[in-house]
Amino acid sequence: MNKAKILIIEDDAPIADLLSYGLSMEGFQTQIAGDGAAGMRELESFQPDLLLLDWMLPDQSGLDICKKVTANYNIPIFMITAKSDITDKVLGLEFGADDYITKPFDLREVIARIRTILRRVEQANNQERKEPEQEVIRIRHIEITESERLVQKEGQTVELTPKEYDLLLMLIKHQGKTFTRAELLDLVWGYHFVGDTRTVDTHIQRLRKKLDANSLITTVFGIGYKFEKLGG
């Protein structure tokens, strides 16, 4: 997706310049912000298609930025981190990041991953245009208004993160289908996750708790998860 706009929030000027130059050479439009506050201002004015976000910023954590962005914007986030511990990486994904890469990185890999994320966003948007949103999905005590990304339990609004919502919708639109954890990572997070799949388990546990859905979102032992198919 050439001409897509990418906001780079990175306080290390040489790294930010390298990313900006490499992405510009590939046809992307870029804008750099050196800290979290400037980055949030640029989100409003630049209106990027993707956020390239450093984990460690001088004024606030990249995780804090991630939480703010996922709560208020519908754009993918690609995190750059010096942290190599798998727990930190999973934490970033759970706070709404779509992908991450560890420093030092190969610029070619960054560009390839960005293209993959943007391509999946474009495919999802095209699919939504082909298949109009169901205004309201009702299953037992759960109600989803797709046009508003609103989820309610017994008439009360349930606050879900963007990934929790996407995971719920994927399961609920394919009732009775068993998904492996790898399939859910690919379909919901948009890439093949190499190594740990605990982030899926964590999101499933949160959905069950928030929606009182232990009997609806079930574990298929040795395989993965499914949303039980209900008659009528």
158-214: pLDDT as tens digits: 888 778 888 999 999 999 999 998 888 888 876 544 445 777 888 899 899 999 999
Flag the least confident range among 30-44, 57-71, 164-178.
57-71
Q: What is the SS3 string spanning the chain?
A: CCCCEEEEECCCHHHHHHHHHHHHHCCCEEEEECCHHHHHHHHHHHCCCEEEEECECCCCEHHHHHHHHHHHCCCCEEEEECCCCHHHHHHHHHCCCCEEEECCCCHHHHHHHHHHHHHHHHHHHHHHHHCCCCCCEEECCEEEEHHHCEEEECCEECCCCHHHHHHHHHHHCCCCCCEEHHHHHHHHHCCCCCCCCHHHHHHHHHHHHHHCCCCCEEEECCCEEEECCCCC
Higher per-residue pLDDT: 43 or 128: 43
Q: What domains appear along the chain, each with residue ranges and CATH number?
A: 5-129 (3.40.50.2300), 137-227 (1.10.10.10)
